[in-house]
Amino acid sequence: MMLLENTDVNKSQWEDLHTYIDNDEMEPFRDEFLSMHPYDQSLFFEKQQEYVRQHIYTYLSPNETADIMEHIELVDIKPFITEMDPRFAAMVIGEMATDDAVDILNELDKDVVVSLLTMMDAKDADEIKELLHYEEKTAGSIMTTEFVAVHQTKTVKDTMNFLKAEAPDAETIYYLYVIDADKHLVGVVSLRDLIVAEEDVRISDVMNENVFAVSVGKDQEEVSQMMRDYDFLALPVVDFQHHLLGIITFDDILDVMDEEATDDYSKLAGVTDTDRPQDGAFAAAKKRLPWLVILSFLGMLTASLINQFEKTLDQMAVLAIFIPLIAGMSGNTGTQALAVAVRGLATGNFSKEGKWKLILREASTGMITGAVCGTVITAIVYVWQGDFFLGLLVGVSIMATLIVATLSGALVPIFMDKLQIDPAVASGPFITTINDIISILIYFGLATAFMQLLI
């Protein structure tokens, strides 16, 4: 038994492996390396220099190499495939699960893909080509074609024997999909049911006819949500005539979930495309600049707004010192409200009344936080500046901006959702800048209106 303590590597094991490679001892290397879990193999593999990896390619079979590749993150895989001998690379990809193979090919340049496919076993290549057609981020693009389908007229015993032959190749054997003579999906039977059933019963008598499926063009995020809601380990994919095309398994959904969570998180932070620590500075700057440039222009708008209140500001320069406080508070409360609304819209289940309820709630929340913060700030400014009306002006401005900003944090994503725009696009920076403008208008508006009390 091996206790998973942490993801630290086994140092002495790595040293052994290095010694075997340095002495070009293939058999001891294979014994040690293949005793490791493929994920641990991938950790070792990724940390090596190219000449070491070239040794590893000669020591391992395409199938053993494919196991490693399946545990490497997709964004990191391109250099490994391209440094392999093309014929070997083609065999490695041919040995992988079809959906994983397609994911990798999507990372490579088009001419490389074409040459790899021509070098591949024709059957593997055909399966891959079929999947390559499906649009990115649809059910078709994440499904695998390595599923087990049984004909409804077969018996339990026939099916178990058939399974014994198919088990090593299929992506999952725990659900068997039942088809009729025209390959329409008509039912599902779990291996659990098969084991409990009598041997001479027909599949059509033990199968569950209420089999759920998704159509091949369905968005992957919706598929992921459905699989979690219904607790499916696997979900069949069909075309518009209900022919069974493939299945989506649990591990595919995990990747989708990770992708979507990182995506939402990045958008809240105002990064247009997912920014990864391993990208270079230019790539990172390119992803962040669109927002920053837009915000420069919006910031100019704020500046020109304050400029409208030049006279007020000239008479009372002290007003300027509270600008960051007021703008900052409104931006922060807006982001807080935004996060709740976006997350709520993303996980679905928001009825029409639910949206009204949320808007009402955010208005109330804004009033409570506004009253508390407004009072605190009035008191501090009064004590500090010794001017009650100034304190009241700043406090009331905070209260008013907190109410409006909290409300806008909920309204903007709901409105975007209504316009069928992904509400996660209403990111932190966007709502912050809108709320900057609103808060400046309220603050200087109030100051100008009540000027006579302040000087």
Is 164 one of the binding residues for a copy of itself (CB under 8 A)? yes
Minimum distance from residue 86 beta carbon to a copy of itself (Å): 28
Q: How far apart are CA 307 and CA 305, in angstroms?
A: 5
Minimum distance from residue 118 beta carbon to a copy of itself (Å): 31
DSSP letter (8 states) at residue 135: P
- Sign of the torsion angle spanned by Cα atoms 15, 16, 20, 21: negative
- Only one of the segments 16-24, 97-105, 150-158, 182-190 lies at the binding site for a copy of itself (rule: CB under 8 A); that segment is 182-190
| Count of positions on this chain that bind a copy of itself (CB under 8 A) | 137
Is 238 one of the binding residues for a copy of itself (CB under 8 A)? yes
**Cβ atoms within 10 Å, residue 20:** 20
Distances from the Cα of 410 to the Cα of 201, 340, 341, 360, angstroms? 57, 8, 6, 10
**Cβ atoms within 10 Å, residue 133:** 10
Between residue 277 and residue 296, which ones bind a copy of itself under the rule CB under 8 A?
A: 277, 279-282, 284-285, 288-289, 291-293, 295-296
Is 418 one of the binding residues for a copy of itself (CB under 8 A)? no
Among 55, 137, 202, 276, binds a copy of itself (CB under 8 A): 276
> Contact letters (x/-) for a copy of itself, 378-407, by CB under 8 A?
--x---x-------------x---x-----
Between residue 356 and residue 375, which ones bind a copy of itself under the rule CB under 8 A?
A: 357-358, 361-362, 364-365, 367-369, 372-373
Is 340 one of the binding residues for a copy of itself (CB under 8 A)? yes
- Only one of the segments 79-87, 89-97, 121-129, 222-230 lies at the binding site for a copy of itself (rule: CB under 8 A); that segment is 222-230
Q: How far apart are CA 188 and CA 200, in angstroms?
A: 18
Is 328 one of the binding residues for a copy of itself (CB under 8 A)? yes
Q: Which residue type does 240 have?
A: F
Q: What is the DSSP string of 65-93?
A: HHHHHTTS-GGG-HHHHHHS-HHHHHHHH
Is 133 one of the binding residues for a copy of itself (CB under 8 A)? no
Between residue 107 and residue 126, which ones bind a copy of itself under the rule CB under 8 A?
A: none
- Only one of the segments 54-62, 112-120, 123-131, 311-319 lies at the binding site for a copy of itself (rule: CB under 8 A); that segment is 311-319
Among 52, 74, 339, 446, binds a copy of itself (CB under 8 A): 339
| 349, two tokens | 């289940």
Among 215, 387, 422, 446, binds a copy of itself (CB under 8 A): 215
Q: How far apart are CA 92 and CA 124, in angstroms?
A: 11
Minimum distance from residue 116 beta carbon to a copy of itself (Å): 24
Is 230 one of the binding residues for a copy of itself (CB under 8 A)? yes
Is 64 one of the binding residues for a copy of itself (CB under 8 A)? no
Q: Which residues pair with 236 in a beta bridge?
A: 247
Between residue 73 and residue 92, which ones bind a copy of itself under the rule CB under 8 A?
A: none
Between residue 3 and residue 22, which ones bind a copy of itself under the rule CB under 8 A?
A: 3-7
Q: How many residues does the chain have?
A: 455
Q: How far apart are CA 51 and CA 302, in angstroms?
A: 57
Instruction: Give the residue with the Cβ less far from a copy of itself, 75 or 122.
Output: 75
Q: What is the DSSP string of 16-40?
A: HHHHHHHTT-HHHHHHHHHTS-HHH
**SS3 at position 274:** coil
Is 421 one of the binding residues for a copy of itself (CB under 8 A)? no
Q: Max alpha carbon distance in the chain (Å)? A: 97
Instruction: Give the residue with the Cβ less far from a copy of itself, 87 or 311.
Output: 311
Minimum distance from residue 3 beta carbon to a copy of itself (Å): 6
- Are 210 and 218 within 8 A, CB to CB? no
Q: How far apart are CA 39 and CA 45, in angstroms?
A: 10
User: Locate tokens 């599923």: which residue?
Assistant: 147
